[in-house]
Structure 1
């Protein structure tokens, strides 16, 4: 993109080829003050100004902002982001590849959290006979007991709740680790199917839905196809589930629900 710092052009032409600070803030979902701060510290200085001195952002500026926001999402401090972006040997594609790797690692961790959330929703954990150290190893920083009240309120009177409570009370640390490993592997396979474009009602994806139903049957309670359909709907209707599934692959929650419903129809 041509710079206009030393080559004044009519204001209308500048505006056609660049964006105001307000437009960029709305597009990026951040505040104008944030953009001003990035300019003040030299992290993102717009390449153009209007004759009146207002900031104008070019395509290259917006590309840099995208990189900044991605690194911020990954937890990098601003000074470290600045150092990363100023490395002369690192191009845009290299940044994207690095961010993809970091986001993939984060998605795997989120997959583990999904499994832990499902365990909390399927049963209260007050009866789990694990030491504090073992609980940390199994659940990490996630605290299943924080969901006890909601779980009991929503499902406390159901046979599935009672069955799940009885079964999990006898689980050892090894049982919980194996359960989590199986759930994470299933989530990885679901995300891979979604990313590769396999239709949700394809037999292979329906097999993944059936594997999920079998997982619940094995570890928690008897889950028939009608109940499984209700769980699939929950993954879309409850934004907490939607968020964690979609973090593994965009649209995964709705994709998984479609697969669950298709699998239920296949069983008829």
Structure 2
């Protein structure tokens, strides 16, 4: 049975204004609007709204959510499986931080002694797991610059950076069934390219291409990336190759004009 907008708002716990906004931006269009102006929401609308709210909880923007759920390759069941995995990871991270807080309270009360390692359990910033490999391939100077930059960040800034990193990988994981040449994949790969250049080191197109090859040629990288979704490393590698070639080709065209 179809539901009026007020009923949906009360059921879900969002405002009527929010549902109006979703309709206006083409994110969630009601099944029908009656002659008297009532928006009616179907069972399918409610399923879509559930997807929207799960993605929002995981930090996706409305623009990103719209791209994902409107993609021809979008599969609701696969999305739920991925969302479950992401929420479990988020829960585990929160559980570890709560455990660290509990230990810290006991430590402050003199009940236990904490090591420095225990003090930061669950909130460690872990982009350096392949630091040795990175140093060998790209030299000490660039890696030292990255580490210096990270150490100069506050914990909140580091966590924001970590969340953005995960966000990009999770977005790409939702697009694994698409062609690496698709508009959605290429737009997200550009986000990855811009993210790396803004926050870590200046990547030339050749270096970015080489990084993509590393994702599939080094099983450590492949295993780590595919934790977000099987086959993600391969998609990213191929998409990074397409991105690089498109950028180089575009540069040539500009020079010829």
Name which structure has the greater RCO, CA cutoff 8 Å, separation 6+: 1
TM-score by length of 1: 0.46
Bigger Rg, structure 1 or 2: 1
